[in-house]
Amino acid sequence: MKLRWLAGYGPAFVLGVTILAFWELYVRSGQISAEVLPTPIAIVRALIDHWDVISVHTLQTLLETVLGMAAATVFGLLLAITLEISRWSRRAIYPVLVISQTIPIIALAPLLLLWFGIDLGPKVFVVALYCFFPIAVACADGLADAEPELINLLRSMRASRWQILWLVRLPGAMPSFFSGLRIAATYGVTGAIFGEYVGAYQGLGIYMQLSFNSHAIVLVFAAILVTAALSLLLFGLVSLIERIALPWYHGSAIRRL
């Protein structure tokens, strides 16, 4: 197990440490001002010193992200099931779903805040917009790619469309669903930060903006570090839930390796 972990994550760990060491030495050499590009050590120190404030903003961003992801998951699953049940709906809605992703959220978010204010709701909606598409598309494709042999077997036993959906299509779509959910986990934090950047009372996005306006660049980097940690935390949590929910899938994947 340890050897497999080292083989999988060892190169990335070494590369990360190398980049951080080069960054630290480059700034310390005086090639660039530490006020413009703080060293990694200075960023960690600033994070520790200001954690009492940063933690409050972090919890707000985490709340927005979790609520937005939950909403996107519910509506994404419902839409995917609708697309699978009705071929007409798939032909009508799927292209519109794809085209909707061409609308820049950077232009839509200020309008949402203008219409609904800068409370929690608009930020949750922005996160849901970021997360909805990968979840819905991944689940819809997973439902459509169910094993035809199992479907034909249930049809020969006179199973209804709902029974086929529940017994074959939904279980078979779960790996694809979790793949979309992992992507959404990384998108969600970005969506929350962006919504806060446009307008908010609390959150890492508004904290970054206020820190930048105060020329406290080291605090901007500290907030960025927390943002990255949140994304990794949510990604890892989704992966853990997947392993618990789908042991049969990961067991077969390990055997294939």
Domains assigned to the chain: 51-256 (1.10.3720.10)
Largest Cα–Cα distance of the chain, in whole Å? 76
Mean pLDDT computed over 188-211: 89
Query: Tell me, what's the pLDDT at 92?
Result: 81
Question: pLDDT by residue (tens digit) across 105-150?
Answer: 777 777 877 787 778 888 898 899 889 989 998 998 888 887 777 7
CB 143 within 8 A of CB 170: yes
> Are the CB atoms for 189 and 69 separated by under 8 Å?
no
Mean pLDDT of the chain: 84
Residues with Cβ within 8 Å of residue 250, at least 6 apart in sequence:
242, 243
User: Each residue of 78-107: pLDDT tens digit?
Assistant: 998 888 887 787 788 878 878 877 777 777
**What is the SS3 assignment for 216?**
coil
> pTM score, two decimals?
0.84
pLDDT reading at 58 higher than 90: yes
